[in-house]
Chain A
């Protein structure tokens, strides 16, 4: 069979070109499979009552490059070592139950695909980090369209690169921090894509430590015990369009530089030590276009330098931003601050960050020259927020006449609030 290069009209996008190449690739593969009688890329079917009844048997029989189809049914199996490049495809949601005996798949080969399974019953261990799927020292693997139910760790990647974790549903039933594992756990990895997964009820939804050049996008990580996303020592990563809601402590990004946080939603992180987004010792990172709603603290910055916080919406948070005085050179521009109990809090009279061109729902100034920006600077740190910062118990007086009067007096004659922390060009109208 001759294979012609697919012709396409000029001006078509690369993506379409890629699509045609992809089709051509699949065609070639199909031709190869049909045309050759050799055992290269054979299909092995695992079926209850069939010739091959267990996954472990199939894994022994399979040659590198084979496809293993697993028909629906329940397979009580654990400690399945995948040491050859294989595609493991579930048809009709076969259930693989570890039944409390240990991890399920341990992948050490490259180019492995695992898709269409329901994996459950990986036990809690205080010694080993058991996972439904462990990818160890591997590359170019795909974990797609699986369901993970009640596992200790769901997907665990160690020393791996160029892997994709896509469209999985991960549901744990963790109740205690000490006996819970993470949804997607990455350790010493690079070029990983974690996309469009649903992760609930784990300890940390997504955990990254020593991971670089990775993308976390389109995930919904909610109702986890600790962090929706936990991020440490992971430079040059990007997370965008994710939703993090009702996690015990929100999202934490620590000890990292060059992180892009774009268009995520941070919602409903409530509690004394709970943050929509916690930034600790972060450098040269960007927080753009996020929606931050109803958190105790929207963004908390500590020891973080040169952070750009731009075009975000802060809505109905306890504190929109808490910025400690050890943060230097950050820029907070073009954000909407609407109906937050406290707009900005800090712990010092000095400020080394820049606030510019934001909309503040509590701004009372005027705009005589009609350029859309208020003519008087706005100082988002109120006297009362300073008092609360030093004496948290005075919180009970919020919205009392006394507090209103104190804030008013301080606004007219600032003596305690940071003089430098001011928005010199506050917008008159919200941006979005």
Chain B
């Protein structure tokens, strides 16, 4: 465990020294500040920020994770010549990178909020939710990228695969949902749609954020169904469990692969 922390700490320092990690934080800083400058109402800032987060966080953290994993290959080989458990190394790297990306995101978005607005309780709640959901997305896509990078030795293939995963979850999946909805429009679709939304991390993140911003109430029947689901503790628990599963599953599979891998 201590070793794991040690490696994690190394990864954090590595990212901090790395320009890209800082750039990531700086990007969110600039975007959030810019949104506040352009728009007076913080409600609208939250909506714009939400779109940006849902689009960028999965993309950046999956690409970043893959590239980092490939780049630290020599370091990993070096460390593994020592009497160190493979699980420790993998876990340490994952935690370190995850912590630094999450910290970057939270700082980038949170600081301008603290700076620009006098926070009411409601706004604080929506900000915290955005930060929580963003952090979940970061870690989820990091886990998937580590998994893919472990399975695929070829850097090009790995990048292509993770881009494919991103494209599928961010775009293609929704397209399929839309087509399915149209094809089966004669049937009651609320439950299948709920399942479809819970299954895709990006959709789940989006709907969780939307339900909190009054949207559900405005949106008539479908919205009401979703509001009732996500409004209950059962719904929230299912959502959180689904998000956690999206982290745990790829990490466990990745670990297994990594332990049996011929480096």
Alpha-carbon gap, A402 to B55, bound state (A): 11
The answer for the CA separation of A285 and B219 in the assembled complex, in Å, is 28
Give the docked Cα–Cα distance between A88 and B226 (Å).
54
Question: Contact between A402 and B218 (Cβ–Cβ < 8 Å)?
Answer: no
A65 contacts the other chain (Cβ, under 8 Å)? no
Whole-angstrom distance between the alpha carbons of A274 and B221 in the complex?
Answer: 11
The CA-CA distance from A397 to B43 in the complex, in Å, is 20
Of the candidates B43, B44, B171, B189, the one whose C-beta lies within 8 Å of that of A401 is B171
Distance from A394 Cβ to chain B, minimum over Cβ atoms (Å): 5
Tell which of B41, B44, B177, B182 touches A396, judged by Cβ atoms closer than 8 Å.
Answer: B177
**Which residue of the partner chain A has the closest CB to B209?**
A399
Contact with A along B65-76 (1 / 0, CB 8 A): 000000000000
- Give a binary string over A323-359; 1 marks a CB under 8 Å from any B CB, 0 the rest: 0000000000000000101000000000000000000
Contact indicator A393/B219 (Cβ below 8 Å): no
Contact of B54 among A272, A273, A401 (CB under 8 A): A401
In the complex, A172 Cα to B77 Cα: how many Å? 76
Chain B interface mostly helix, strand, loop or mixed?
A: helix
Q: Does A392 contact B (CB under 8 A)?
A: yes
In the docked arrangement, what's the CA distance between A283 and B26, Å? 56
Whether A371 sits at the interface, judged by CB under 8 Å, is: no
Q: State whether B174 touches A395 (Cβ < 8 A).
A: no
A387 shortest CB reach to chain B, Å: 7
A272–B193 CB distance below 8 A: no
Question: Which chain A residue has the least Cβ–Cβ distance from B184?
Answer: A393
Count of inter-chain pairs, beta carbons less than 8 A: 87
> What separation, in Å, do the CA atoms of A411 and B203 have in the docked complex?
24
Q: Of B44, B177, B203, B219, which contacts A296 at CB under 8 A?
A: B219
Please give, as numbers and ranges, the residues of chain B lying within 8 Å of A64 by CB-CB distance. Answer: none
Do the beta carbons of A397 and B178 come within 8 Å of each other? yes
Q: Is the C-beta of B20 less than 8 angstroms from some C-beta in chain A? A: no
Chain B residue with minimal CB distance to A400?
A: B174
Q: Is B220 an interface residue (CB 8 A)?
A: yes
Residues of B95-149 at the interface with A, using a CB-CB cut-off of 8 Å, are none
> Does A230 touch B at the CB level, under 8 Å?
no
Given the known inter-chain contacts A272-B224, A395-B223, please indicate yes or no for A294 contacting B193, CB distance below 8 A.
no
A312 at interface by CB-CB < 8 Å: no
**A396–B54 contact, CB under 8 A?**
no
**Residues B203 and A400 in contact, CB atoms below 8 Å apart:** yes
B218 to A294, Cβ gap below 8 A? yes
Q: B93 on the interface (CB 8 Å rule)? A: no
Q: Does B88 sit within 8 A of A, measured CB to CB? A: no
From B170, B178, B202, residue with most partner A Cβ within 10 Å? B178
Task: Answer yes or no: A369 CB below 8 A from chain B CBs.
Answer: no
A202 at the interface (CB under 8 A from B): no
Complex Cα spacing A396 to B190, Å: 10
- The yes or no answer to A27 lying at the interface (CB within 8 A) is no
Instruction: Verify A396–B222 contact, CB threshold 8 A.
Output: yes
Tell whether A318 pairs with B181 under 8 Å between CB atoms, given A398-B210, A398-B215, A401-B170: no
Residue A405 at the chain B interface, CB threshold 8 Å: yes
Report the separation of the CA atoms of residues A403 and B190 in the bound assembly, to the nearest whole angstrom.
19
Docked pose: A401 CA to B193 CA in angstroms = 17
Question: Which label, helix, strand, loop or mixed, suits the secondary structure of the A interface?
Answer: loop
B153 contacts the other chain (CB 8 A): no
Residues of chain A within 8 A of B182, CB atoms compared: 391, 394
| Residues 371-413 of A contacting B (Cβ, < 8 Å) | 387, 391-405
| A396 and B175 within 8 A (CB) | no
Within 8 A of B (CB), among A64-86: none
The answer to whether A405 touches B181 (Cβ under 8 A) is: no
Contact indicator A392/B218 (Cβ below 8 Å): no
Contacts A272-B221, A318-B219, A391-B185; A399 near B193 (Cβ below 8 A)? no
Q: Is B165 an interface residue (CB 8 A)?
A: no
With the chains together, A339 CA to B41 CA distance in Å?
A: 10
The reply to whether A391 and B50 form a contact with Cβ atoms under 8 Å apart is: no
User: In the complex, A279→B107 CA distance in Å?
Assistant: 49
In angstroms, Cα B40 to Cα A339, docked, is 12
What distance in Å separates the Cβ of A373 from its nearest Cβ neighbour in chain B?
Answer: 21
Q: Are A402 and B171 in contact (CB under 8 A)?
A: yes
Picked from B175, B193, B219, B222, the residue with its CB within 8 Å of the CB of A402 is B175
Tell me if A318 and B206 are in contact (CB < 8 A): no
> Known contacts A401-B55, A401-B170, A401-B174: does B226 contact A396 (CB below 8 Å)?
yes
Residues of B within 8 A of A270 (CB): 217-218
Residues on A with beta carbons closer than 8 Å to the beta carbon of B222 = 392-393, 395-396
B76 to chain A, nearest CB (A): 34
Assess whether A48 is interfacial by the CB under 8 Å rule: no
A318 to chain B, nearest CB (A): 4
Min CB distance, B197 to chain A, in Å?
6
**Is B18 an interface residue, CB under 8 A from the partner?**
no
Residues of chain B from 184 to 206 with CB closer than 8 A to chain A in the complex = 185, 189-190, 193, 197, 202-203, 206
User: Which A residues are in CB contact (< 8 Å) with B217?
Assistant: 270-271, 296
B11 within 8 A of A: no
| B232 is an interface residue with CB less than 8 A from chain A | no
Q: For B226, what are the chain A residues with a Cβ–Cβ distance below 8 Å?
A: 396
B207 within 8 A of A: yes
Tell which of A296, A397, A400, A405 touches B220, judged by Cβ atoms closer than 8 Å: A296
Q: Does A212 contact B (CB under 8 A)?
A: no
When the two chains form their complex, are residues B185 and A393 in contact, meaning their CB atoms are under 8 A apart?
yes
- Could you say which residues of chain A place their CB within 8 Å of the CB of B221? 272, 392
- Chain B proximity of A342: nearest CB distance (Å): 10
The 3 closest A-B pairs by CB, nearest first: A318-B218, A272-B220, A402-B174
- List 5 additional contacts besides A316-B43, A341-B218, A394-B182; criterion CB under 8 Å: A270-B218, A271-B220, A339-B44, A395-B222, A399-B47
The 23 listed contacts between A and B (C-beta, < 8 Å) are A271-B224, A272-B220, A272-B224, A274-B220, A296-B217, A296-B220, A317-B218, A318-B215, A318-B220, A341-B218, A387-B178, A391-B182, A392-B220, A394-B178, A395-B223, A396-B207, A397-B174, A399-B50, A399-B210, A400-B54, A400-B202, A400-B206, A405-B171
